[in-house]
Amino acid sequence: MEKQEYTLTIYTENSIGMIGRISNIFSRRKINVESLNTSASEVEGIHRFTILINESKEVVRKLARQIEKQVEVLKVFYNTDKELIWQEQALYKVPTEAVTEKVYVERLLRQYGANAVVIRNDFIVFETAGKTEEIDNLTKELTKYGLIEFVRGARIAIIKNSEGFHTKIKEFEKQKPSSEVVENEFLGKRDKVFTM
């Protein structure tokens, strides 16, 4: 099967060592992570990992199942770029005179929607967000004008056809506790758990 970019969205409990455990799964399978972002989700106590990889659909499907076997992992989604709304962020440190003396640089920054974050006599720091190609193109252009420093943030993404994970969590929380052991379909796991 042909490789392509996939973004994995992983919802986990907020527990120590999750990044290490998840990254070990990628290492054991010899899968390179192109980008990794972790942050709080819309649900208190639940974290969201956004991981970009370049693999075949079959490898990604197996990887998602393997990650879901982790006790603290609630759900894993994998999507192509077409199924997502995504951005990368970047910061650029540019010499002040490059911006004030060269009209082209100022136009370039406006064209890419860059905003000044810090303005000093010796340098200006700009921030912008966009697709990978846009960030790459702006970096290439600013290099011609003495780009001092550049840093790119990891991909952040929202699934287009998702109602948000909080809807499932809220439904799950409404259920009354039961002493019966049942298949946990909510979490997509095959192990037996107590319903709540």
CATH number at residue 103: 3.30.70.1150
pLDDT confidence of residue 155: 95
Tokens read off for 13 = 């409990």
β pairing state of 156-159 and 33-40: unpaired
What tens digit of pLDDT does each residue of 140-172 get? Answer: 999 999 999 999 999 999 999 887 776 776 666
Are 9 and 70 members of one domain? Answer: yes
Distance CA 13, CA 94 (A): 40
Domain range spanning residue 16? 4-79+163-194
pLDDT band (50, 70, 90) for residue 68: very high
The verdict on residue 176 lying in a domain is: yes
CA distances 18 to 22, 68, 94, 176, Å, are: 6, 12, 37, 29
- pTM, whole model, 2 decimals? 0.79
Q: What is the 3-state secondary structure (H, E, C) of 121-134?
A: CCEEEEEEEECHHH
Give me the residues paired with residue 94 across strands: 124
pLDDT tens-digit profile of 86-105? Answer: 999 999 999 999 888 888 88
Number of H helices and E strands in the chain, helices first, is: 6, 11
Establish if 157 belongs to a structural domain.
no
CA distance 157 to 41: 12
Residue 15: its pLDDT value, please?
Answer: 87
Q: Is residue 122 part of a domain?
A: yes
Nearest to 72 by CA among 17, 24, 12: 12
In this structure, is residue 158 part of a structural domain?
no
Whole-number Cα distances in Å, 95 to 25, 145, 155: 42, 8, 27
